[in-house]
Amino acid sequence: MAYLSATDFSPLTAGQMAQAHPLVFGKYTPTSATSPWDLSAVAATSAPYAILDDVYSFTVVENATYDIFSFSYFDPYLITLYDKNGKAIAADRESDGNYGTDFLSSYVATYSGTMYVEAGWHQGTAAANLTASIAVFADLDTVPKASNTFNGGDGADRFIDTRSADLVNGGGGIDTMVYAGKRTDYDIVKSGADLLVYSLVSKDGVDSLRSVEKLAFADSVTDTTHSDLTQALYVSYFGRAADTGGLKSFQARLGELKAPSSAAELSARYNTDSAVKTLIDSFATSAESTALYSGDNKAFVRAIYTNLLSREPDQGGLEFWSNALNAGSLTRANASLSIMAGAQANTTAQGKLDAQLIGNKISVASNFTYGLETEGKVGAYNGLGAAAVARELLKQVTSATDAFTFQTKVMQAVDSLPTSAGGLASPGDAPPDALPITLSGVDSQPAAFLYA
């Protein structure tokens, strides 16, 4: 920006503002193909002593860019720009190189409304050298649009965040959305297939991202690959949202296994892929999961339905799943995943409601985990009490829940956790009766299998 700070300049008086001449913008007719301006306003005079009456007012648009030119016989003293209260906010640098003309360039309006400019004219004394003028040009292209739409192709696309509400569909490949700020400067809200991202520190619009796998912030990258499936496992086996470390660990492990994206496909691989079986068994045999699901097979199935689908099983479903467990065609380790996959594939009226409920729980669980990062509560999500907060949150979710409007409850739940400086708390930092939430989300299996 080629202008000086004007904090040491005297403000305009009330009289000067009241008597300021209005400049009226009209459509600018370009004189060359590279002219950036959209609007212009010009005033000229040959009146004697115009230098004593050189304050003009004009209306600006927030984020529009303005260039101001002042001409007089002798080089103008200074162009000075004032805000709506008459406070001096900018002045030209007197370095334009053209004697008789001053130029205040690239001023970006910080609000919409009235501004004032003092032309700083320096006229001569003869009639031939009294002419003076001022011209203000506006570039409206710098004003953020209501929204920008970007569509990716089949490859790895890279999108840059704008100050508008960006609507991005990444398409195929591993796509990345780049943000200038740090991760904690943004809130991420999952709502169905879309990720909504908005800045907590600037006036950027709310971005809606679909099929975008990575969000690159100034200090970290949020990878959403296998995020839904990982959250589905946590909801299914633990009844809660994933902790930040556990989410990233299991995402990495699923990536190593080249795992599918759906619960049904993952469940189908359970009997044929020993690595997948080991992963699923680590959830099912953990102390946290076995504490939720106990008793005989019918009690076990009822507990899964209550936890996952927020209802009692119908008689047919109860008999089907408990008989499969009795016969050995279904293991307890794979039961939660299989029941969830079955609910997502059920096309009956109840099945559609169940599938919608599971999708909403996955969205809310994801938002809880994202909220831990935004609010600096990563380490606070540790122990029985913290796990109970997340479970109670998911119990409030229904098939009709809108994840975006539900976000207030999500952040209330996150805020209810004790403040932490970040990082997972170690068992020694937890209360004596707390069950630690470990990086893997389980505590009865060695962690080494995650990286095998």
pLDDT tens for 170-188 read 999 999 999 999 999 999 9
d(CA 108, CA 130): 32
Note whether 42 and 165 are same-domain residues.
no
Phi and psi based region of residue 86 (left: phi greater than 0; alpha: psi -120 to 50; beta: remaining): left
Helices 297-304 and 315-327, interaxial angle, to 10°? 130
Note whether 78 and 159 are same-domain residues.
no
Of 142, 165, 191, the last residue of a domain is 142
Note whether 161 and 89 are same-domain residues.
no
Of 121, 142, 163, the last residue of a domain is 142
Range of the domain at 77: 3-142
- Res 427: pLDDT: 29
Is the Cβ–Cβ distance between 332 and 284 less than 8 Å? yes
Of 208, 223, 238, the last residue of a domain is 223
Note whether 294 and 350 are same-domain residues.
yes
Q: Which domain CATH number covers 69?
A: 2.60.120
> Could you tell me where the DSSP H helices lie in 286-383?
287-292, 297-304, 315-327, 332-345, 349-374
- Res 7: pLDDT: 63
- Res 434: pLDDT: 34
Domain count, the chain: 3
- Res 449: pLDDT: 24
Note whether 282 and 186 are same-domain residues.
no
Note whether 232 and 364 are same-domain residues.
yes
Note whether 187 and 309 are same-domain residues.
no
Looking at the DSSP bridge assignments, the partners of residue 114 are 59
Note whether 278 and 332 are same-domain residues.
yes
- Res 144: pLDDT: 81
d(CA 45, CA 33): 30
Note whether 255 and 295 are same-domain residues.
yes
- Res 3: pLDDT: 53
- Res 190: pLDDT: 95
What strand order describes the sheet that includes 113-118?
3-4, 88-92, 80-82, 113-118, 55-60, 21-22
Note whether 194 and 78 are same-domain residues.
no
Note whether 299 and 240 are same-domain residues.
yes
On the CB side of 325, how many CA atoms lie within 13 Å of its CA? 21
d(CA 246, CA 378): 11
pLDDT in tens, the chain (452 residues): 445 555 678 899 999 999 999 999 999 988 887 888 999 999 999 999 999 999 999 999 998 999 999 999 999 999 999 999 999 999 987 665 688 999 999 999 999 999 999 999 999 888 889 999 999 999 998 888 778 899 999 999 999 998 889 999 999 999 999 999 999 999 999 999 999 999 998 878 899 999 999 999 999 999 999 999 999 889 988 899 999 999 999 899 999 999 888 888 988 898 899 999 998 888 888 888 888 888 899 999 998 898 889 999 999 999 999 999 999 998 888 898 899 999 988 899 999 999 999 999 999 999 999 999 999 999 999 888 899 999 999 999 999 999 989 999 999 999 999 764 333 333 233 333 333 344 233 333 322 222 22
In sequence order, the 6+-apart residues with CB closer than 8 A to the CB of 271 are 277
Note whether 368 and 290 are same-domain residues.
yes
- Res 422: pLDDT: 37
